[in-house]
Amino acid sequence: MLPDPLHPALVHFPIVLVVLLPLAAGAALWAIRRGVQATRAWLVPVGFGLALSLSSWVAVETGEREEEKVEEVVAESTIDAHADAAERFLALSVALTALLSVGLVANRWGAAARIASVVAAVGLIGAGYQVGHSGGALVYHHGAASAYLDGNPARVGDQDGEGRRTEGGRGRSERDDDP
């Protein structure tokens, strides 16, 4: 049986893969320097890139399907910021996978693409952080999970102008009590 909602159960895959990809690419570069055939060694990071792109696409798709339900409790602008970050991450993941694929070529271009891929993979962690942080904020600071609770969920009207919970809403963070 699949979890409901599905999106929170799947979003951790791209987060893990974006961290593992630079490690896999770095290890493949090390293996190539140690004498392993470049094409063979580079298949591992390409596989990670494909898995990252696919899992990112699935996360975006499931997020879009659950967006309306969460809009019942979180301001649309807050959700849109997370969705924009997720779509940017997906596009960058696909671009990185294309660059990783060029690394399969056994010539000067392939070697350059392999080095550029490692650098780009490390940089992609920043985009992954943005998506993960905004998603976590939706759940833990804006009460997105309350859209799936039985009973009376928090309402968009219970948020201040910046999308934070106010006195009347569920999901208030401790920061709401700060002066």
pLDDT tens digits along 155-179: 444 555 555 545 444 444 444 444 4
Task: Please give the C-alpha separations between residue 131 and each of 8, 53, 89, 143, in angstroms, as whole numbers.
Answer: 13, 14, 7, 17
Distance CA 157, CA 48 (A): 42
3-state class (DSSP) for residue 32: helix
**Residues sharing a CB contact under 8 Å with residue 128, sequence separation 6 or more, in sequence order:** 14, 15, 18, 19, 89
Question: What percentage of the chain reaches a pLDDT higher than 90?
Answer: 73
CB 143 within 8 A of CB 47: no
Q: How far apart (Å, rounded) are the C-alpha atoms in residues 176 and 92?
A: 35
Q: pLDDT digit string (tens) for 56-67?
A: 999 999 999 999
Taking the model in full, what pTM does it have?
A: 0.82
Over residues 21-37, the mean pLDDT reads: 97
Inform me whether the pLDDT recorded for 30 exceeds 90: yes
- According to the model, what pLDDT value does residue 162 have? 54
Q: Is the pLDDT of residue 13 over 60?
A: yes
CA dist 153 and 170 (Å) reads 7
- Res. 5 pLDDT band, cuts 50 70 90: confident
